[in-house]
Structures are given as C-alpha cells and as structure tokens.
Amino acid sequence: MKKILLVCLILITACQSADPESVAESTPTATIQPPPETATATGTFTPAPTFTPTPIPMYFTEEFNMDLNAWDSFVTGGDTTPTVNIANDMLRLDIPSPHTWYYAVNNSHEYKNVSVSAKFTATPSGSVGLICRYSKSGWYEFNLASDGTYSILLGQLLAGGIAQYTPIATDSTNYLQAGNLNYEIGLTCQENTLLMYINGTLLRNKDVSNYALPEGRIGINAASFQEVPMNATFDWVKVSEPSQ
C-alpha cells in the first residue's frame, strides 16, 4: 500500500515540475476554401431587327422625300456626269455639259399599259420628258423642249452607252411657249398607242404598232442643249392605271 502511494506522489510531482512554456502550443489549422468556380455569363442574344422594305405598289406617286433606291440612272452623250440631289422634297438635276441626256428609270415594276406624269421646272436651255416600256429592246420617250417644240422618240441603247434615237413625231404647239419649261407632262402607253398630255390636256395620240415594244419600266429624263448649265427640278412623278 505504501509503495502504491509513493508511486502516485512521484507522478504528481513530475507533472507539476514541468515547464509550462515547454509545452508546444497547438498550431491552428487553416481551412482553405476551394476557389469559386469561374462564372460563365449566360446572356440571351437578341438578333438585330430585320427591316423588310415596303414593296412599292404598281401605281404610286414618287414625291422625292426619301431616297432614290428604286431608281436606276444612266447618261448618254456629254462629257460630264450630271449631279443629282434630293432637296425640299424635290429631285434636282444639274447638267454641266452640252448635249447630255440623263435618264432615271424606276425599277419597281414593268408595265404594258400605264400612265405616267410629272411636274417639273427647268432652265430654258434643254428638254424634259417621260419614258415608258423601257427594256433592252428600247423605250418610248416624250419630251418638251425649251424652244417650244415637243418630240416623240424611240430610244435604244447601243454598245458603250451610246443611244440611238428614231424620231416618231416632232412638232410645235400652242400649249408650249419658247423659253419656258415649267409644265406638268403626261404620257400614256395603251396597247399600240401613245397619248401625250401637257398640263392635263391631251396634246396628241400616236400609233406605234410599227415599233411594237411589248412592256417595260417607266422613267424620267432631262437633256441639255448647247447652252449650259441646264437645271431641272421634279416636284413629283405619278404612275397610274390608264383610264379606259
């Protein structure tokens, strides 16, 4: 019994005599969090709106308040290309060189029977006109000139942008004044007949069955004579169904 007590006392004394600073402090263990997963942005792609051009109807009025995307143009004769602008809801043509013909053809539709009219003002040094049944085969053309005459022509494009004109009719009329180019002009292609109008009044009708152009597009034109510059302004162009 005494031996057991002695052993216990020895153990107790040893425990109390130990240097507290020699006891190693427990080192805290850092808990390392795994890096967050890379965020993937999931966006919803919205495509840009697609604008479908509004189709131009068969019969319409062009008031030149937007652009000329529906028109193709070409020039015959002359040494300088005319300048074309849209301003104040009007189409303005400036032709700087003599003997130059400018054409603008509407590419929206082709017609067999159609009426086309336009209101224009131009300097008294050239001619202004309308065309119908324009195609690779040719076109019909009705012009009012600053010398007080009018002409009806068959136009045909040759190689190299050269045009050949066949006169169908040329004359003067009391409806035209020399030195004045401020009119409303009209042209109707009806079967084998052309009907020409000045300020809404029928000037003449002409049989063109010898030329037999089947169908085509409509257009406008302006030409310079010797005196330049020649300037023409179109207020509007109207395309309509011929009256029966």
Coil/strand/helix, residue 161: helix
Q: Is 238 exposed, middle or buried (0-12, 13-18, 19+ CB in 10 A)?
A: middle
Domains held by the chain: number: 1
Q: Is residue 28 part of a domain?
A: no
pTM of this prediction? 0.78
| Nearest one of 171, 166, 179, 159 to 225, comparing CA atoms | 179
In a domain, 127, yes or no: yes
Distance of alpha carbon 4 from alpha carbon 16, whole angstroms: 19
Confirm whether 214 is domain-assigned.
yes
Give the CATH number of the domain where residue 93 resides.
Answer: 2.60.120.560
**What is the pLDDT at residue 146?**
97
- What pLDDT does 161 receive? 73
For the CA atoms of 212, 130, 136, 153, the dihedral, rounded to the nearest 10 degrees, stands at: 50
CB 100 within 8 A of CB 75: yes
- For every residue of the chain, DSSP letters joined together read -HHHHHHHHHHHHHHHTS-GGGSPPPPPPP-PPPPPPPPPP-----PPPPPPPPPPPSSEEE--SS--TTEEEEEEESSSPPEEEEETTEEEEEE-SSSEEEEEEE-S--BSSEEEEEEEEE-SSEEEEEEEEEETTEEEEEEEETTSEEEEEEEEE-GGG-EEEEEEEEEE-TT--TT--EEEEEEEEETTEEEEEETTEEEEEEE-TTT----BEEEEEEEE-SS--EEEEEEEEEEEPPP-
Domain of residue 228 covers: 73-240
* CA gap 169, 227 in Å, rounded: 24
Amino acid at 91: L
For the chain, residues with pLDDT lower than 70 are 1-54, 244
> What local confidence, expressed as pLDDT, does residue 53 receive?
55
Whether 106 is covered by a domain: the verdict is: yes
Domain contains 125: yes
Three-class SS state of 76: strand
Let me know if residue 9 belongs to a domain.
no
Amino acid letter, 117: S
Residue 224 belongs to a domain: yes
Question: Could you tell me the two tokens for 115?
Answer: 């009426």
For residue 66, the model assigns a pLDDT of 83
Residue 17 within a domain: no
So what's the pLDDT on residue 17?
A: 44
